Amino acid sequence: MSGAEPKQSKNTPAQTETKRGLKAEGSAPDAVLPLFDQGQTTFSPQTIMRLQRTVGNQAVQRLLRGDHSKLVLPPIHHRQLTSNAGQRLIQRELAVQIQPEDDDYDTIKTVEIVGRPEGYWSDTMGDHTTAFIVHIESIRSRLKGQSIDSAIIMVASLVAAAKSLPGVEMAKNLEGGFQSKYNEALTTLNAIETNLTDAAHLQSYINAYLQFRELIPGSTVKTKSKTGYFGKGKGESGHAEKLVKYEMTEQNPAELVPSILGVFDSTGVGMMAVEANADRITEMSPGMDTKIEAVDRAKKVWEQHLQSIKMSFPKCYEAAKTDLATINVPQMIKAEVERDVEQDIDQVFTFLNLAVQYRANIGGMTAKTTKPELLAEDYYGTAQYRVQYDYWQDAIKEAGEWIERGEIQYKLLKKIDEHTLYKFDAGTLKGYLGQVKQSPTTAIHLVVPQKPAIPRKPKPTAPKKVEDKRGTKRKAEESDADTGPSKAAKGKAGATPKKKVAFVPDAKQPLAVQIKLADDNTVSEMMVGGRPPSPFAGTMGAHTTSWIVHLDHVRAYIIGKTILEAIDEVSEHLVQDAEDMYNEIGAKADIPLPHRYQLNEAKEALDSTKQTAEGTIHSSLFLQQYIQQLLTYINFIPNATLRKNDTTGHGEGTYRTTLMDYERSVSDGDTPPTERDTLKEAIVKLFDSSSRGPMWNNHLRIISKAYPNAFAKAGYTLQPLARELMEVM
């Protein structure tokens, strides 16, 4: 092209794609597939990368060859981005709810922990290096059957152990927003420790501990920045259950090492450890030392995992520590480096072949011109040429970056172990890339090389099982080590831990309500994690009035009240509102018998609790249970929830924020700038139905009580209830 740079057009390549009908390229993978159906095989390198992260590289290769008959898109995960929230995540709130024994509010029956603490990143929750279920089950199994005072001591011991983890020392490397989040979590935890007097404060203590634990460097890894691996379940619950059972029974020690490894995310740790770019290491694992070797980074996280197991399940650790000491961390991450090198090879050939395709497309467009030296000038003004030219350049850049990355990873792999199955021939690849870089008007014959076959390791055979002297089958190579009980934990004077109660983790904890108290012992916050059981089989369904509105409706009545006042508000107002809701939208509904049974059961539980509330129970734990039962009943009211497969968020958080900001402005005595139409739009968007009958009127009624000022400003009117008409008469 005689070295001439193409003229810059007013339209960007992305704008050109939109004009050519390729707008779907930038959207979800299921919007791109119809373009493959239409025979289109030219896509930007950015689109190829997005597809790879979603459906995998092999699937993308089949698509580019025109074969997508076997492609199955993964199901939408519950952590979705809202349509108008940029890259912010909708994250389930962490709620900790202590459930007391029925006849003794000072004895813990169980602890429900639902949701997840806020992490370092806005676009992903990250992956735990030590599975989060380990921390949850450690708390739940410890506190079951304990008094509130004893439970406070036990949580304090976990907090003290957490503050001595290796990651706390690494926190000195944190910078910017990462450092601010960590410091805030630590400050909050320390402040709560000075006021541990009752169950509500214990719940806040557990919540703050889990938040701090989440932000200790090395606890989570942002694998999203490298792969589509992030956020996927890895079977940790089953392994955690085995650890819990051993801690209680000291049986089946042969399962300990596999279970301790099973709650360690070696894949995520390996991805972080083998990363060569320092900035990316910091993004993936805030606080990690970027100057140490990959193996040492992995060892730091592994050591923290072992300490986490020791503090969470001391008997398990003592029984398994000899075998754990023999685990070779470099070999553990070797598989991850090999996986990285294999991915690098795949990516180089993906983008080299794309570059060849784009180059050929350009050559085909310009073959008939008589002035090849002017091609850039003549053709860059046309959309088709401009798009192909930019794709060609981007693919060359991507291929070059993957070659560079592959070289680094291959050198690292050779450092870990000379005997590797993978080979990365950077010299040959660079030579081929040099050919692809040549002008598309240069008549050269490009031979697309075949990607080298990557040898596969033989599948390991199942270990031979032997019969030990006690008649228990176990793996031959696993230790039968068994130790006695750990030393009794030190406790404060006057508080003696109760005898341990056998405990098995629950399969589901669908809903948890946590009340936080201010210094004057009034309700300062209500946190809710999870959702009540669904009235439908196979789907949670979708609420006609957004669930967050129901929660704000409750908050509007209890925030700022004492426990006794809040209980009275639930009995006198919120239960009546729920009954009005049933009469308005649910009483005449024809629902299946299983749903009717659930509804009746929830109503009976709520009525029973209301009767109990008329007694002398003033506990925050009782208030939580009361609200939990109220929300469960509301969820079962016919037409409160509709059977829908799409249960993802639709921007409700944004619209709810609009209404809450207006309420706060009025409360602060300001004149809110929000326009009426904006408030009306928010109210409409929080309603998931096309109906404008009783369900719409019920929606407006709940809105009027949750956000009274915004409702008044919006100018909507309510149709009176039949009960209200009777009262007037």
Strand spans (E) along 493-630: 511-517, 523-530, 542-543
What integer pLDDT is reported at residue 148 of this predicted model? 93
Quick check: 549 and 706 in contact, CB under 8 A?
Answer: yes
Which amino acid belongs to residue 327? I
Segment 571-588, tens digit of pLDDT: 999 999 999 999 999 888
Residues contacting residue 344 through CB under 8 Å, at least 6 positions apart: 402, 403, 405, 406, 409, 410, 424
Assign 303 a pLDDT band (cuts: 50, 70, 90): very high
Domain ranges of the chain: 13-72+336-437, 95-327, 511-728
Which amino acid belongs to residue 470? R
Most confident of 62-76, 225-239, 256-270, 322-336: 256-270
Assign 35 a pLDDT band (cuts: 50, 70, 90): low
When mean pLDDT is compared across 37-41, 301-305, 442-446, 623-627, the lowest value belongs to 37-41
Is it the case that residue 155 has pLDDT exceeding 90? yes
What integer pLDDT is reported at residue 611 of this predicted model? 84
Segment 474-530, tens digit of pLDDT: 333 333 333 333 333 333 334 444 433 333 333 345 789 999 999 888 999 999 988
Distance CA 493, CA 515 (A): 28
Q: Tell which wins on pLDDT, 531 or 221.
A: 221
Distance CA 50, CA 53 (A): 5
What integer pLDDT is reported at residue 342 of this predicted model? 81
Q: Transcribe 195-234 into DSSP letters.
A: ---SHHHHHHHHHHHHHHHHHSTTSEE-GGGT-TTTT---
What integer pLDDT is reported at residue 576 of this predicted model? 94
Assign 51 a pLDDT band (cuts: 50, 70, 90): low
Q: What is the dihedral of CA 331, 305, 88, 664, to 10 degrees?
A: -170
Report residue 506 CA to chain centroid gap. Answer: 20
Q: What is the dihedral of CA 646, 651, 656, 657, to 10 degrees?
A: 150
Q: Tell which wins on pLDDT, 5 or 131.
A: 131
What integer pLDDT is reported at residue 718 of this predicted model? 82
Distance CA 170, CA 300 (A): 10
Beta-ladder partners of 81: 89
The arithmetic mean of pLDDT across residues 351-363, rounded, is 82
DSSP 583: I
Distance CA 158, CA 140 (A): 12
What integer pLDDT is reported at residue 179 of this predicted model? 95
Quick check: 676 and 629 in contact, CB under 8 A?
Answer: no
Residues contacting residue 399 through CB under 8 Å, at least 6 positions apart: 347, 348, 351, 352, 355, 429, 433, 436
Q: What is the dihedral of CA 56, 62, 64, 66, to 10 degrees?
A: -140
The arithmetic mean of pLDDT across residues 75-89, rounded, is 31
Segment 630-684, tens digit of pLDDT: 999 999 999 988 886 444 556 788 899 999 999 999 888 887 777 889 999 999 9
Percent of the chain with pLDDT over 90: 40
Relative orientation angle of helices 383-416 and 426-437, to the nearest 10 degrees: 170
Distance CA 343, CA 346 (A): 5
Distance CA 178, CA 287 (A): 8
What integer pLDDT is reported at residue 22 of this predicted model? 35
Q: Tell which wins on pLDDT, 454 or 515.
A: 515
State the residue for tokens 């898109």.
Answer: 73
Assign 75 a pLDDT band (cuts: 50, 70, 90): very low
The arithmetic mean of pLDDT across residues 239-249, rounded, is 92
Strand spans (E) along 651-702: none
In 3D, which of 509, 537, 511 has the Cα closest to residue 595? 537
Phi and psi torsions of 276, nearest 5°: -95, -25
Segment 388-440, tens digit of pLDDT: 788 888 888 888 988 888 887 787 677 777 777 677 888 888 888 888 888 77
Count the alpha carbons within 13 Å of 479 in the hemisphere toward its beta carbon: 15
Q: Transcribe 522-588 into DSSP letters.
A: BEEEEEEEE-PPPSSSS---EESB-HHHHHHHHHHHHTT-BHHHHHHHIIIIIHHHHHHHIIIIITT
The arithmetic mean of pLDDT across residues 296-314, rounded, is 94
Report residue 610 CA to chain centroid gap. Answer: 36
The arithmetic mean of pLDDT across residues 164-174, rounded, is 95
Quick check: 108 and 144 in contact, CB under 8 A?
Answer: yes
Assign 86 a pLDDT band (cuts: 50, 70, 90): very low
State the residue for tokens 């059957």.
Answer: 145
What integer pLDDT is reported at residue 690 of this predicted model? 76
Query: Which is it for the CA torsion 337, 340, 344, 345, positive or negative?
Result: positive
Distance CA 148, CA 98 (A): 10
When mean pLDDT is compared across 25-39, 234-248, 322-336, 382-396, the lowest value belongs to 25-39
The arithmetic mean of pLDDT across residues 243-259, rounded, is 92
Is it the case that residue 284 has pLDDT exceeding 90? yes
What integer pLDDT is reported at residue 432 of this predicted model? 85
3-state SS, one letter per residue, for 269-282: HHHHHCCCCHHHHH
DSSP 522: B
Q: Which two tokens stand for residue 280?
A: 């990316």
Segment 597-614, tens digit of pLDDT: 889 999 999 998 888 876
